[in-house]
Amino acid sequence: MKIVMLGAPGAGKGTQAKMIAAKYQVPHVSSGDIFRANIKNGTELGKKAKEYMDQGLLVPDELTVDLVIDRLSWEDCKNGYILDGFPRTIPQAKTLDEALEKIGEHLDYAIDVDVPDENIVTRMSGRRACVGCGATYHIVYNPSKKGENCEVCGDQLILRDDDKPETVQKRLSVYHEQTQPLIDYYAGQGILKSVDGTQDMNDVFAAIAAILEA
């Protein structure tokens, strides 16, 4: 099962990807998490990526594509994966398709979690991310039972720099320009499925599970 999650920043891709990964026993591969791990470890790549991320811009394809596609060749991905945050541009999508074609494989589904822009700012300003393990919460819709700390690892929860309202607006316009065209791209391949992402997260998940089990 090879799935790509589509949707605006804050639509709930990561939340759903984690639920799918847990239920179907395939890894959740998040390009944003890969970049944040590099930033945390102080790598050269992390330093370069952070400059773009802090401005709400996409990290250039040259720094992104090989990194993520290489991750898909790891042993844990042999039965599939949930890709979250990649591809984000048409060139990224084409490179992924070519890499899969070379090994005789293909994506099974592109799942678009559809949430209008009006809901996004509330989602993002309330998002809290764990500095330790990357788990995400929402102060209203999915609060941590441990308050300011992570339920999983106990580390501190923070508002990501790029989740501040100024940057969110920029990320939304970048999304509409560069990422939304992927919806038509995957529709053209016949693998696009859309779900209403404004529902409660368990209902969104039920809709996705129904697609995967159809």
Instruction: Give, in order, the Cα–Cα distances in Å from 156 to each of 133, 174, 199.
Output: 10, 29, 28
Token pair for residue 115? Answer: 């949430």
Question: Which of 13, 18, 71, 123 does the annotation list as catalytic?
Answer: 13
For residues 136 and 10, give the distance between their C-alpha atoms in angstroms, rounded to a whole number.
11
52 counts as binding ligand ADP under rule CB under 6 A? yes
Question: Which of 50, 160, 164, 170 does the annotation list as catalytic?
Answer: 160
Query: By Cβ distance, which residue is nearest to ligand ADP?
Result: 32
80 binds, among Zn ion, ligand ADP, none (CB under 5 to 8 A by kind): none
**Nearest distance from C-beta of residue 3 to ligand ADP, angstroms:** 14
Is residue 18 part of the annotated active site? The answer reads no
Is residue 13 part of the annotated active site? The answer reads yes
Residues in 125-144 at the binding interface with Zn ion, rule: CB under 5 A? 130, 132-133, 135
Choose between 104 and 119: whose C-beta lies nearer to ligand ADP: 119
Strands 81-84 and 2-6, by their bridges, are parallel
For residues 92 and 101, give the distance between their C-alpha atoms in angstroms, rounded to a whole number.
14
88 counts as binding ligand ADP under rule CB under 6 A? yes
- Cβ atoms of 132 and 150 closer than 8 Å: yes
Residues in 143-172 at the binding interface with Zn ion, rule: CB under 5 A? 150, 152-153, 155
Phi, psi of 111 (to 5 degrees): -105, 115
For residues 115 and 101, give the distance between their C-alpha atoms in angstroms, rounded to a whole number.
31
Is residue 40 part of the annotated active site? The answer reads no
2 binds, among ligand ADP, Zn ion, none (CB under 5 to 8 A by kind): none
H helix or E strand, kind and range, residue 109: strand 109-114
| Nearest CA among 161, 174, 38, 171 for reference residue 48 | 38
For residues 54 and 57, give the distance between their C-alpha atoms in angstroms, rounded to a whole number.
7
Choose between 104 and 127: whose C-beta lies nearer to ligand ADP: 127
Of 93-101, 121-129, 144-152, 206-214, the segment contacting ligand ADP by CB under 6 A is 121-129
Binding stretches for ligand ADP (CB under 6 A): 7, 9-15, 31-32, 35, 52-53, 57-59, 64, 85-86, 88, 92, 123, 126-127, 136-138, 141-142, 162, 171, 199-201, 204
